[in-house]
C-alpha cells in the first residue's frame, strides 16, 4: 500500500512539473505571436500559459477534439492557442479601459 501512495505522489509531482513546462512554453510562444508590449515577468507568462492550457483544452474538448492532456506535442499548440486567445482578450479589455 505504501508503494502505491509513493507512486501516486510521484505521478502528481510529474504532472505539476509538466503543467509548468507546458505553461511556460505556451506563454512564451503566445507572447511572441501577439503584438504589443510585454509587461509580464516569467511567472506571469507561466500562469498565462497554464490558464491558456485550461482554456484551450476546454475549447478543444467542447469542439470534440482532445485538449491539453499531458506533456506531449499536442498539448503545446492547444495551450498556446488558449494563451493567444487570453492575450487578445486582455489586450482588447486594456485598450477599452485606456
pLDDT reported for residue 79 = 83
Q: Is the pLDDT of residue 24 over 80?
A: yes
pLDDT of residue 51 exceeding 80: yes
How high is the pLDDT of residue 27? Answer: 85
Residue of higher predicted confidence among 87 and 70? 87
pLDDT band for 68, please (50, 70, 90 cuts): low
Give the pTM.
0.71
Query: What Å distances lie between residue 83 and 3, 11, 30, 46, 70, CA to CA?
Result: 37, 25, 6, 10, 17
> What whole-number distance in Å separates Cα of residue 46 and Cα of residue 83?
10
| Whether residue 1 has pLDDT greater than 70 | no
Query: How many structural domains compose the chain?
Result: 1
pLDDT value, residue 70: 60
What's the mean per-residue pLDDT of the chain?
77
Which residue segment(s) compose the domain that 25 sits in? 2-97
Centroid of chain to Cα 18: 11
Amino acid at each position: 500500500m505504501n508503494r502505491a501512495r509513493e507512486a501516486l505522489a510521484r505521478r502528481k509531482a510529474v504532472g505539476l512539473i509538466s503543467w509548468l513546462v507546458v505553461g511556460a512554453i505556451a506563454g512564451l510562444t503566445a507572447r511572441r505571436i501577439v503584438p504589443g508590449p510585454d509587461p509580464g515577468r516569467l511567472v506571469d507568462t507561466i500562469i498565462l500559459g497554464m490558464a491558456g492550457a485550461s482554456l484551450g483544452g476546454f475549447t478543444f474538448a467542447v469542439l470534440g477534439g482532445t485538449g491539453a492532456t499531458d506533456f506531449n506535442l499536442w498539448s503545446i499548440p492547444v495551450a498556446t492557442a488558449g494563451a493567444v486567445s487570453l492575450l487578445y482578450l486582455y489586450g482588447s479589455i486594456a485598450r477599452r479601459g485606456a
